[in-house]
Structure 1
């Protein structure tokens, strides 16, 4: 720390004692220059660095000694945080003037290289600006150094407090299983109750207390009656209202109203507890010890009633709402009892801890009194973990594809409850009382918080179904309930951290670091910048979509632009709008992209190699939208794929084939490959229908019939008229072709089919034969086959000197039916 203090002292001397003229004289080795035209104004509230130096040295001595209490360290930390906030504000002093000077210096250009020269005026001006810049940056550097020192001291304090907290948890104390500690614990607890009762009785012995009681008695009695009524009948009344209103509601809305009304089961008895506490306070009959106990009753009530409500929502109420966990009815009642009892035990542990702190119980007394609570809570956690695992097994049996993610997660949570439910009582029995408390009761709170998240997720599902008028199954698969649950879970993460021992200062320190943002080059990106970027970009994106929709549905259909051109305009406008929205969002967030130029340049090389195909497709998509060689709705053929263009994006084009399948083609294939567009510009196209007739037919008559068939079809264009070609002499027929221009080439297949039907009908009427292919079969050496058929010889075994003849080979491969068929074919051909 000594070098830091020395540097800080030097900066302070430079900032507070040296004048601007002296600084410039020392740096430029010239006479002091006149004062600048715009003098720098001192900050309204300068930081007292001498006081800070004393505070920092005191904090360093306290940390090095290690004898300060936790309360003293917490107070010291608060003071250090206050100083750090001052330094954070001082770091931004004169920032506008500093940026202006940097811009002026960069405008003068870089200084000449060694051996180089520049005009003396520029050299002098650069020295003046540099001196002013150093003068303005001196307080900023001092604030940055002090800010770093304060941050280091705060981190050291936090580390010390965490180390002490860990040592306290791992410290072993007296075991509660030692019978020697039991009498003392019982005596301490009994004495506390006796003293509390004596304190109550002592209030009646003074005339002042009796007068106050007589004065406040009506209000106290009224509150007492309200408390008794709410505690005795509040939940019953709420359940009656739920049953009546629930019978009227149907569908998902019933679940929403049932959830909202069920909250009255917590609010009504809890209001009774607060009324009871207030009645006792109004009566003025409480002593100090009794007041300590009564002050813990609201916390005990909250733990008990919230746990009871949560158990009913998770495991289902008898004759009431459906359960979230998949368990049989007998097991559900056990689960409700265990959850409610865990809430009661948590409240009792808080009450016992407060009384022990007030009475200053010994470690042995605390261990003995808390052990039954910890042991019973551990047993209930063990049983609750088993119920969660049973739920996961039931879900796996009911589902066709096994247990889902939620069921598997709850199964792991059940295993954790089982392990912690065993470790907590064991640690308490050995003597690690604080470690046992840190195991058991944070687990209870965590389980309750997770159960609350499950209940809220079911509520979000019902609310989604009620708003969008869909069933429970569709709402369970919707995205909005999941997103709402994720947001609530994200907000619950700090609560989980506090439950498991994190200090509030730890969370505030994390939030401060997040608020400071991430530094990229000379740019600092904070959460506020990200929120601003998101809002501006969302507004720009929404405006772009609005303009696109207006053009697509209102403006462009009234023009003479074809559908493909309209689509290209809308798509191009969308890309331009998104780009401008991103630019405006970056500018509004104050993000300086120039400082990221070096990083972007380094990444561009790797991106160029790794994403060259994507970039190629992107550029090809832009070319397709500008040149429009193909448009949506065109019938094209590319790469052996034929179909209609349904969508053109910046990366790919979607084609719907005649089989009703979608083919995704990269845009680069459409630009660099051969593409056949059958409907580009217009829908006219030619159909070719080949026809063959038998030899000997009247070719002129055939030509006239084919021309009549083509001219009579309604989709064939009159201009140019259809033509009939006598294309040649085929192997089996005289070949003709009908060539006609169609008004709509999309119907080419149906036109060809219609013409073929009409040609077959007309040829049948005119007696014109449509030939089919005929082949004559000639057999070599038929007499050998005939001899083989009358007296076949068995094949000879190949032996030494044996030679197999042609007839023997023929007889070995043809049976009698094949030979007879061959002979019949021969006679017919002859």
Structure 2
């Protein structure tokens, strides 16, 4: 023990100079300068008088200081961790005392640790202060943005403002023209004017050609690619080439702006317009491209929306007009900012753009709803993106109506911040849908699955998840979140979320899945090697081989998960504590599951049954097809699956007909009529049994005279079969042969007969049939009988005619 302490002391002495060197090389932040920044930032936040641009500059400085303090605290923490590790190496201080050298070393390490911890704590406090100041700047900017949205300006429908608004727009245009005239007067007298003309003309020609012919060139290439036979790759190439309708004209716009810059005719206002012109052109071109892809011209192109040709043409036109409205809005916003338009002019001039864009949004929403009605009325046209189409249609409708109402009431800023982000969001969703279908086709083709497997494969889900994750920053930016806040959000996500002593970050999550994936892949590789190469060469039966392969799989997955958790910095001790706490709940609430799990392990180890065995358990008979840790799957003879819990197989009674070998016995009962020679029957039955090829000769089959039945003499054939799985077929074939030989020998197979004696058969004679009585007929008959029984009345002439004889 003393030698060990001396060795640790020597190692500590060797490490002390290195620790001192680390402290010397770590440059401490300038806290005096930081205090000045804190005072300036606090004053700016409290007063709120600084402009947005100044606040952005201040936020950038605070971010630099925050990162500086974070790096400093990390450097210091490494030093303190080293010192703590050496103190832990020395072990706890004994109560009875320790050698003087070790005590001195312990005291020196404690002093060093105290000195190293002070800069760390100071850097962490400064980092926290910087984070709070950044949050204050962000809150101030959000409050200003909210106030701007809620601020009500002049009513654009008031005719009193229309004349001033029109004159403001005219003045802005005249200013641009005046700048060009003044610049022309000045530029044409410069010496380098002639030298710049060829450059300007060249850029102008390039711009005109790209703007006028770029789309036609792209469509020509698309028509050639359509002849390819591979659907997935063809779709990807067409999708990529179709972007040329956006970027070729956009390059032409850049060339056009460069040609104007080469002439030096652009003044201050012209420079602002030219700087924003590529963005406006991109909005117009991209909107038209999305319209052409969502509402294609050709019927053969992939249909995103199921609409007739007329409605598709309407959709393309509306989409292009929306792009035009967005481009005009961007240009007018820049002009209004540069010329400082009055609130009245802004409200009046931007309201028609809002109304026009809202009208187009309503038209497009009606087309989207027409698509939904089409797929709902026709079977087989259900598509996975129907929910996205429905959300887009409702977003268009809500945004359009709300924007018109807000704009008319004077909330111009709120109307602009509602209508154009809504348009941009729907366009982004449309682009993601197009990109998703294209990438899905490529991936499915590369994986050899084909486009028909789109609805059954998981690749479309994975691609959609990745695209949505990538689109989240764009959606945040569209709806007004500043780029600094988005970057800060992702920085926080990248640095990780601390839960107790565990830090969860994307890096840790990726590391976990990587290690677990590698471990799982190695486990599967080992299972495949053992199953196909090693185990077939051993004396283990098939059931034992399957048990070994399953055991390797369970152990491999457990070890892979353990290594992945350990390498991501998660304390296994904490997991052990949680597991021990959950053990009580598992003991009561999950008792059945744990019992089945343990029973599954027992089945894999002891192997009383194996896959392929013919067993009977709980009244169910069939073949064992799969043994898992919780249950066993049995396939019955009528091809139905019965799931039996493993605990029933371990604790209950199981009959295994094929365990170890397939030899089994068949019993064929036979009955003959009384009066038949039993020995003759015995000989015939033995002949049938011995003649069957499935019956073993040793032990030889025999016939049992079971007894005297109610209607027959009962015999049984008992024979051992080579494969008991054929017992039904063997019994059937023996019965056929017995029936044939009995017919030849005249042996009768009896059936139950009974004699019936009747004690009083006369009582079973049917009674006389009683006819139903008709009351009217009975009365008429009685009257007839009474009339016939009376004598005739006397007449004067005694002739019965009632006349008088003359």
Range class of TM-score, shorter chain: 0.7 to 0.9
Within 5 Å, which residues of 2 pair with 1:769-808? 769-779=748-758, 781-786=760-765, 789-791=766-768
Partner residue in 1 for 2:801: none
Larger Rg: 2
Q: Output one character per residue of 1:331-388: Cα deviation in whole Å (capped at 9) or x when no partner.
A: 1111111111111111111111111111122222222221111110011111111111
Q: How many residues align?
A: 754
Q: 1:508 aligns with which of 464, 484, 487?
A: 487
Shift in alpha-carbon separation, 1:285–1:51, aligned structure 2, 3 A: closer
Partner residue in 1 for 2:741: 762
Within 5 Å, which residues of 2 pair with 1:462-481? 462-464=441-443, 466-468=445-447, 472-481=451-460
Q: How many angstroms apart in 2 are the aligned matches of 1:776 and 1:101?
A: 109
Q: How many angstroms apart in 2 are the aligned matches of 1:531 and 1:633?
A: 41
CA contact (8 A) 1:209 1:284 kept: no
Q: How many angstroms apart in 2 are the aligned matches of 1:611 and 1:655?
A: 24
Q: Output one character per residue of 1:745-797: Cα deviation in whole Å (capped at 9) or x when no partner.
A: 111111111111111111111111111122334456433223xx2447899xx
Residue 484 (str. 1) matches residue 463 (str. 2): yes
CA contact (8 A) 1:94 1:136 kept: yes
Residue 72 (str. 1) matches residue 54 (str. 2): yes
Residue 392 (str. 1) matches residue 369 (str. 2): no
Q: 1:571 aligns with which of 534, 550, 555?
A: 550
Q: 1:229 aligns with which of 209, 217, 234?
A: 209
Partner residue in 1 for 2:256: 276
Q: How many angstroms apart in 2 are the aligned matches of 1:77 and 1:659?
A: 74
Shift in alpha-carbon separation, 1:324–1:49, aligned structure 2, 3 A: same
Partner residue in 1 for 2:663: 684
Within 5 Å, which residues of 2 pair with 1:130-169? 133-169=113-149
- TM normalised by structure 1 equals 0.85
Q: How many angstroms apart in 2 are the aligned matches of 1:135 and 1:385?
A: 67
Partner residue in 1 for 2:330: 350
CA drift of 1:45 comes to 0.9
CA drift of 1:174 comes to 1.5
Q: Output one character per residue of 1:611-661: Cα deviation in whole Å (capped at 9) or x when no partner.
A: 333322222222222111111111111122211112222222222211122
Within 5 Å, which residues of 2 pair with 1:627-776? 627-776=606-755
Shift in alpha-carbon separation, 1:609–1:282, aligned structure 2, 3 A: farther
Shift in alpha-carbon separation, 1:389–1:593, aligned structure 2, 3 A: same
Partner residue in 2 for 1:203: 183
Shift in alpha-carbon separation, 1:776–1:602, aligned structure 2, 3 A: same
Partner residue in 2 for 1:63: 45
Q: How many angstroms apart in 1 are the aligned matches of 2:515 and 2:577?
A: 26
Q: 1:184 aligns with which of 140, 159, 164?
A: 164
Shift in alpha-carbon separation, 1:81–1:603, aligned structure 2, 3 A: farther
Q: How many angstroms apart in 2 are the aligned matches of 1:222 and 1:72?
A: 41
Partner residue in 2 for 1:86: 68
Q: How many angstroms apart in 2 are the aligned matches of 1:291 and 1:599?
A: 66
CA drift of 1:210 comes to 4.7
Moved over 6 A (4+): 104-112, 122-129, 792-795
Shift in alpha-carbon separation, 1:781–1:51, aligned structure 2, 3 A: farther
CA drift of 1:468 comes to 5.0
CA drift of 1:420 comes to 0.9
187-196 or 603-612, which moves further after superposition?
603-612
CA drift of 1:444 comes to 1.0
CA contact (8 A) 2:473 2:486 kept: yes
250-259 or 514-523, which moves further after superposition?
250-259
Q: How many angstroms apart in 1 are the aligned matches of 2:574 and 2:75?
A: 22
CA drift of 1:426 comes to 1.9
Q: 2:96 aligns with which of 119, 127, 150?
A: 119
Shift in alpha-carbon separation, 1:776–1:80, aligned structure 2, 3 A: farther
CA contact (8 A) 2:295 2:305 kept: yes
Q: 2:497 aligns with which of 518, 522, 527?
A: 518
CA drift of 1:510 comes to 1.9
Q: How many angstroms apart in 1 are the aligned matches of 2:754 and 2:93?
A: 97
Q: 1:436 aligns with which of 392, 415, 418?
A: 415
Q: 2:393 aligns with which of 414, 420, 432?
A: 414
Shift in alpha-carbon separation, 1:729–1:179, aligned structure 2, 3 A: same
CA drift of 1:264 comes to 2.0
Shift in alpha-carbon separation, 1:127–1:727, aligned structure 2, 3 A: farther
SS in 1 for 2:226: helix
Q: How many angstroms apart in 1 are the aligned matches of 2:517 and 2:15?
A: 45
Q: Which runs of 5+ in 1 are unaligned?
A: 1-34, 113-117, 796-830
